A and B are shown apart, each in its own frame.
Chain A
Amino acid sequence: MHDTPPVTPESIRASLAEGLHCDVVEVRGDGHHFEALIVSREFDGLNRVRRHQLVYAALGDRMRQEIHALSMRTLSPAEWAAGQGR
């Protein structure tokens, strides 16, 4: 068995930026619990469930295998500009 590298906020951020068009992506966490703020034009017109599903899809297998606790806020650029999420 090979050791998997520890999950870091930066590695989650990189996965999100790769799998989703992000205007803003911030991830904080301690290695076990993570919090993400994601602003993406891909969220335009989608409800919360569909937005979270896009985020989970971007994380793919990492979500099933490595990341056990991720809280997220998902905003469209317009919602972000209107001051939500701050």
Chain B
Amino acid sequence: MSIQDKIREQVKGHRVVLYMKGTPQFPQCGFSATATEILKRCGVDEFFSVNVLADPDLRQGIKEYANWPTVPQLYVDGEFVGGCDIMREMYQSGELQQVLGAKKPA
């Protein structure tokens, strides 16, 4: 399976996916720590997280998949939502809570 196929499978196979540096328990970058914290504050305790530091090919692959050069990256229902800045803005405006709370359309 190609890296792009693997990423597609990950983001389509889980409702909420966070590509990050480190793990939710031990983030290894301030932006990834913030992203994790925002998800928790939105009431999302369970999400699929991927530590890109553990997989250089994946780390490069996600940049191409979303045309987005930085980490973290949040996906909800298979759609790329944004990085840390966008998560913070959407959290402050309440949009992120809506996106995370909305049921996946049938």
**Residues of chain A whose beta carbon lies under 8 Å from any beta carbon of chain B:** 48-49, 52-53, 56, 63-64, 69-73
Contact = CB atoms under 8 A, between A and B. Distances in A.
B31 A49 contact: no
Interface of B: 30-31, 67-70, 80-86, 89-90
A17 to B, nearest CB: 20
A48 B82 contact: yes
**Nearest 9 Cβ contacts at the A-B interface:** A48-B86, A63-B69, A71-B85, A56-B69, A49-B82, A64-B69, A72-B85, A48-B82, A53-B67
27 contacts: A48-B82, A48-B86, A48-B89, A48-B90, A49-B68, A49-B80, A49-B81, A49-B82, A49-B86, A52-B68, A52-B85, A52-B86, A53-B67, A53-B68, A56-B68, A56-B69, A63-B69, A63-B70, A64-B69, A69-B30, A69-B31, A70-B70, A71-B84, A71-B85, A72-B85, A73-B85, A73-B89
A4 B70 CA distance: 21
Contacts of A70: 70
Chain A binding surface SS class: helix
A70 B86 CA distance: 12
Contacts of A53: 67-68
A79 to B, nearest CB: 12
Contacts of A73: 85, 89
